[in-house]
Structure 1
Amino acid sequence: MSASSAALFNARADATSLQPVPEQPGRLAWPLTPRPHVTRTFEPPATPFGPGHRGVDLETTAGQQVLAADKGIVVFAGQVAGQGVVALDHDGGLHTTYLPIAPTVAAGDQIYRGQPLGTAAPGHPGCPSAACLHWGARRGTEYIDPLALVGAPSRVRLKPWAEGP
């Protein structure tokens, strides 16, 4: 590689490392297995303190294991307004919450992707089933749709170039 090529490569690498990295499909795994039915979707609020649904509700059964969507640190595991809640901090400033849940983890625990956090509990308001897991995600103070962060990254498939007539 010539000196000018190396300089251009390093300049591009430096510029690329300063760019914010867009969310990639597959950043998070589903917190329930098998893949659950979504009973209520994400509805972002129009203003920071306005009404909305800051997460998604996933159909489950009471006692089903709730799994960590990605590796992280437990920042809260306990009761809020009579419901069990687990909150995780992940790399890149991502924060996820899971409720209602009977936690089996504690604040400060390091968690790996897919690790059980506790079991789903009944009693989520507005749930059309016996039990629903409310799963939320945010980056900083901005709530984001966790469903936009799940799934397998798509695979690129090259097809032969068809010659013209």
Structure 2
Amino acid sequence: MALVLCAVASGHATPVAGAAPAFGWPLEPRPAITREFDPPAQDWLPGHRGVDLAARPGQTVLAAGDGTVAFAGTVAGKPVVSIDHAGGLRTTYEPVVAAVTAGRRVRSGDPLGTVSAGHDGCPVPACLHWGLRRGRDDYLDPLPLVQRPVIRLLPVDGG
């Protein structure tokens, strides 16, 4: 019987194709999660396309992984920073007053800016909304970037 190495996260087995890029939490110390990822049933419906992390106003926001700043500015009146990573991934951070500019290369843990108060629905003084997507429209839960998956050997032949 042949075996294949798989990562199991949220009940789904995904083949492991080599070393994953290193990602870390965008806040230190490790923050509490105040709102989980809750994707909509259809792309056009409302949902929560990221996670909210408890923060302090003025707290430093860190790059979750190596990449290039794709955007640092205001969207719909909110300050936002976006980082493009290898493999077509993009992380977003809001509300963040940027200390970086578009085009700048960053390494995991580099400061991006500071958290502003005023994130809608935040139950603490400030929240960082941390998002992840692949491509333009494929929103993903960013927590698997920083939480260890369970690794299991599964039979290839279904036995």
Q: Give TM-score, length-normalised by structure 2.
A: 0.79
Unmatched 5+ residue regions in structure 1? 1-19, 157-165
Count of equivalent residues? 137
Which one of 150, 156, 165 corresponds to residue 146 of structure 2?
150
8 A contact 1:23–1:149 mirrored in 2: no
Rounded Cα–Cα distance in structure 2 between residues aligned with 1:72 and 1:123: 27
Which one of 60, 63, 69 corresponds to residue 64 of structure 2?
69
Cα deviation for residue 49 of structure 1 reads 1.3
The equivalent residue for 1:104 is: 99
Rounded Cα–Cα distance in structure 1 between residues aligned with 2:79 and 2:16: 33
Rounded Cα–Cα distance in structure 2 between residues aligned with 1:24 and 1:147: 18
The equivalent residue for 1:59 is: 54
8 A contact 1:39–1:127 mirrored in 2: yes
Q: Give TM-score, length-normalised by structure 1.
A: 0.76
From the two aligned structures, give the one with the greater helix fraction: 1
Rounded Cα–Cα distance in structure 1 between residues aligned with 2:18 and 2:124: 31
From the two aligned structures, give the one with the greater strand fraction: 2
The equivalent residue for 2:74 is: 79
Among the aligned pairs, what percent are the same residue?
A: 55
Q: Relative CO higher for 1 or 2, CA cutoff 8 Å, sep ≥ 6?
A: 2
Partner-residue secondary structure (3-state), 2:122: coil
Whose Rg is larger? 1
- Pair 112,26 (structure 1): closer, same or farther in 2 beyond 3 Å: closer
- Pair 27,82 (structure 1): closer, same or farther in 2 beyond 3 Å: same
Q: Which has the larger displacement, 24-33 or 66-75?
A: 24-33
Q: Pairwise CA RMSD of aligned residues?
A: 2.3
Unmatched 5+ residue regions in structure 2? 1-14, 153-159
Cα deviation for residue 25 of structure 1 reads 7.8
